[in-house]
Structure 1
Amino acid sequence: MANLSFYQYSSLFVYLLLQLFSVSSENASKGFSAKFIHRDSPESPLYNSSVSPKERLNGVIQRSISRLTHFKSTLNIKTMNSVKNPTININSTMLMGAGEYIMEFYIGTPPFKQLAIVDTGSDTTWTQCLPCNICFKQKQPIFNSEKSSTFQPLPCTSSSCNDLQLDKTCYKANTTCGYRVSYGDQSYSTGVLATETYTIGGISFPKLVYGCSHASHGEFQRDSSGIVGLGDGTLSLINQFRKTIQRKFSYCLLSDHKKGKNSKINFGSNAVVSGSKVVSTPIEKRDQDTYYYLTLEGMSVGKSRFPCNATTRYGKDGPIKQAGNIIIDSGTTLTFLPATLCDNIENSMKRAINAHPIQDPEGYFTLCYKKTKKFTAPTITAHFAGGADLKLPWTSTFYIDDDLDMMCLGFTASEDVNIYGNIAQRDYLIGYDLDKQIVSFKPTDCSKE
């Protein structure tokens, strides 16, 4: 037998191990789950204990602002001064890869471990591949497609290549399909569109369409090797898996990141949200198929209810209200709301909280308090269409930083795009049923899921 390198031995061992425990995609309809790890959690393999509390807080804010900019750029919204704090440089960090949660999976044959940002706001799944001509630095080893027996580039004549529409880079019909994904801060990822075997939660999926990136330039995060697209577009994982998972997925986000605890992301029958206290709201279809639009009717602080007067399109006579005024997104930390609604909530909270506000030294947040054991704040209720009223305790509305001894309301104003961020989604089991076009919410202790 030929001599094998340590890498080859390791890869072969992982491959054989996965074959013992994995299930074919034909059986995936039984449902499966995977770890859904917050990037700042001590349980994350990418956790960096040397990052200061100030740097971690700045990262959270900048990533949320970058996500907002990404949505605005893809929706062709040009206004750049809609964020309440005008001093924030909203183009300073990478847009697409700025999500907050990562997923572990394996790619290729033999399987090669990857950690990538889970993004409900994008469709194309891509990872960096060797040879990497212009690549951002990542903490993980880079995938080498030449060592995988299941890697298969797609031709320009393939239907998947046509699904890329303007994002494909084909010059001749008989050439390999190239893809290019670009972002509002001039960051981009480009490479070859191909099929490959993915293994997620012990389930192997052959011939998954993804981007093998040979050039990625911009302010990308080192925490991941790319993007896992969970949007509603044709090439997203959800629609590629549609026959086996019935276009269902769910997740449950922990309210904190204690050692030994992880959130989970579920697919197929594992993703069904049922039982008492479940409420549902329709997903509204818009011009952009990728995003999950919900209709936020208003919010309440105690007995005071404030309408969400968001305008989502413009006619010849000016702004027109329509259904689907907010995007629910797992990759954005903060919640962005219309300025009037945001101001009403802040003023009501100030009157109800028995403490003196403090100033955020960085100027990002507009309502902050010193962290104390006795701190409490009113429950905020988010009223979605269809009677889906979500009660949010203060632990799901305030960003808490134990190291900085400060807690701040995680809502900020944006007139152009509204986003329901992941702080407000904590401790709810949230299920997406794309065949029924609904999102369901169930109050849940996510540490027990």
Structure 2
Amino acid sequence: MTGSPSNCFVKHLTVLAHNSCDSPLCHKLDTGVCSPEKRCNYTYGYGDNSLTKGVLAQDTATFTSNTGKLVSLSRFLFGCGHNNTGGFNDHEMGLIGLGGGPTSLISQIGPLFGGKKFSQCLVPFLTDIKISSRMSFGKGSQVLGDGVVTTPLVQREQDMTSYFVTLLGISVEDTYLPMNSTIEKGNMLVDSGTPPNILPQQLYDRVYVEVKNNVPLELITNDPSLGPQLCYRTQTNLKGPTLTYHFEGANLLLTPIQTFIPPTPETKGVFCLAINNYTNSNGGVYGNFAQSNYLIGFDLDRQVVSFKATDCTKQ
């Protein structure tokens, strides 16, 4: 589903239709509830504690294809947010739903655009703001060519929106660190909204030690603001190890630009490992630092996700 600022009521006043809570569309939402005015209200929360509340609405949405042709979708379903808190601000137009659920942008435009599929190429952190990440939708968004690796998406009945894949283990340089003896299918969530990778404690501890052993710098231990993170200070680019994430059928090689958070003017030469730990879970998250400089294609029709190493600043 797509969330929008409260001024969508004004901009679309002549064409906006609010859905009744008796509508079957309202029941497609996990959080759809009936308001006193019989409108379908929703509430969505996010991992950073941001929250959006609003009313389910419909309008005609028009998209421009890569050939320049205009494609209109009538009765386009979206959320008109009028109470957005947390990480949202006045400079943002809203959110687009890229999940696999029935009300997401991907599911709604799929029949018009040649299938429920999309691709993304995220630029690395601190890239010049004039250079944008790129996304493609529908036919033509497939990731093809030399170097492409593909892993199955794993569906969960209780969560049809998120994208889960199966991680078998991680290599730090040539040292292979497997998951625990029992590998659960769909143990990693691919999430472009989470910056770091997050690993189960038993795997994180071993990765931490191996990365530490492969960085020829002294670990920062006297800065309480950094907490337990693996951080180093250097005035040049960090010479850290490569990490390979071994997914089912797909090995993804990551360089330090994808595994370490680079310094900002405020952090003054401090690089920190962009991996956190889950203390009470056997699963994890594959976040947007690791996804940068990869062309990644999600094909919901085939239930696979494909990766191709790419300089996303030149797409």
TM range (shorter): 0.7 to 0.9
- Residue of structure 1 aligned with 2:285, choices 419, 429, 434: 419
**Contact residue 379 and residue 391 of structure 1 kept, 8 A:** yes
* Distance in 2, Cα, partners of 1:383 & 1:177: 43
Unaligned stretches of 5+ in structure 1?
1-123, 130-141, 311-319
Separation in 2 of the partners of 1:269 and 1:252? Answer: 16
Partner of 1:33: none
Is structure 2 residue 270 aligned with structure 1 residue 406? yes
Which residue of the other structure, out of 205, 211, 219, is the alignment partner of 2:86? Answer: 219
Structure 2 Cα separation of the partners of residues 269 and 436 of structure 1: 13
Contact 1:301–1:379, Cα closer than 8 Å, also in 2: yes
Q: What is the total number of aligned residue pairs between the two structures?
A: 301
Deviation at 1:258, TM superposition (A): 1.6
Residue number among 87, 105, 111 corresponding to 1:237 in the alignment: 105
Which amino acid is the alignment partner of residue 270 of structure 1?
G
Kept after mapping to 2: 8 A contact 1:327/1:419: yes
> Which residue is equivalent to 2:25?
160
Deviations 1:215-258 (A, max 9, x none): x1543421424322111111111111120230111100112412
Compare 342-351 and 352-361 and name the one that shifted more. 352-361
Letter in 2 for 1:247: K
Q: Does 1:195 align with 2:62?
A: no
Tell me how far apart the structure 2 counterparts of residues 303 and 424 of structure 1 sit (CA, whole Å). 19
The reply on whether 1:293 has 2:164 as its aligned counterpart is: yes
- The one-letter code sitting in structure 2 at the alignment partner of 1:194 is A
Cα distance between partner residues in 2 of 1:184 and 1:304: 32
After TM superposition, the score normalised by the length of structure 1 is: 0.62
Task: Kindly provide the amino acid, as one letter, of the partner of residue 188 in structure 2.
Answer: I
1:371-386 matches, cutoff 5 A = 371-373=234-236, 375-386=238-249
Q: In the aligned structure 2, how far is the partner of 1:194 from the partner of 1:411?
A: 39
**C-alpha deviations, 1:247-277, integer Å up to 9, x for none?**
1111001124124311111101231100000
1:284 maps onto 2:166 in alignment: no
How much has 1:346 moved relative to structure 2? 1.6
Cα contact 1:167–1:181 (8 A) shared by 2: no
| TM superposition shift of 1:378 | 1.3
Cα distance in 1 for residues equivalent to 2:173 and 2:217: 17
Offset of residue 356 of structure 1: 1.1
Q: Is the 8 A contact 2:165 2:190 kept in 1?
A: yes
1:370–1:292 CA distance, 2 compared to 1 (3 A): same
Structural mapping, 1:15-414, within 5 Å:
124-129=1-6, 142-145=7-10, 147-169=12-34, 175-182=38-45, 188-201=51-64, 203=70, 204-214=72-82, 216=83, 218-222=85-89, 223-245=91-113, 246-255=115-124, 256-286=126-156, 287-309=158-180, 321-359=183-221, 360-364=223-227, 366-373=229-236, 375-386=238-249, 388-403=250-265, 404=267, 405-414=269-278
Conserved? CA contact 1:280–1:439, under 8 Å = yes
Quote the offset at 1:391 in angstroms: 0.4
Q: Which amino acid aligns with 2:118?
A: F
Once the two structures are TM-superposed, the CA of residue 158 in structure 1 deviates from its matched residue by 2.3
If the length of structure 2 is used for normalisation, what is the TM-score? 0.87
In structure 2, distance between residues paired with 1:398 and 1:252: 18
Per the TM alignment, residue 177 of structure 1 is displaced from its structure 2 partner at its CA by: 2.7
Cα gap change, 1:297/1:128 in structure 2, threshold over 3 Å: closer, same or farther?
Answer: same
What amino acid is the match of 1:296?
L
Provide the C-alpha distance between the structure 1 equivalents of 2:28 and 2:45, rounded to a whole number of angstroms.
16
Q: Is the 8 A contact 1:295 1:384 kept in 2?
A: yes
Q: Which runs of 5+ in 2 are unaligned?
A: none
Pair 1:262–1:349, CA change in 2 (3 A): same
Q: Which residue of structure 2 aligns with residue 56 of structure 1?
A: none
Q: Quick one: distance in 1 between partners of 2:94 and 2:153?
A: 27
How big is the shift at 1:210?
1.0
Question: Which amino acid in 2 is paired with 1:149?
Answer: T
Paired letter, 1:262: S
Distance 1:381 1:199, change over 3 A: same
Sort the Cα spacing of 1:365 and 1:408 in 2 relative to 1 into closer, same or farther, 3 A.
Answer: farther
Measured after TM superposition, the shift of residue 365 of structure 1 is: 5.0
CA-CA distance at 1:352 after TM superposition:
1.6
Contact preservation (8 Å) 1:335, 1:412:
yes
2:254 and 2:289 mapped to 1: Cα distance?
10
Could you tell me how far apart the structure 2 residues matched to 1:338 and 1:297 are?
12
Partners of 2:45 and 2:193 in 1: how far apart? 18
- 2:307 is equivalent to residue 444 of structure 1: no
Measure the CA separation in 1 of the matches of 2:144 and 2:116. Answer: 16
- SS, match of residue 194 in structure 1: strand
Which one has the bigger strand percentage? 2
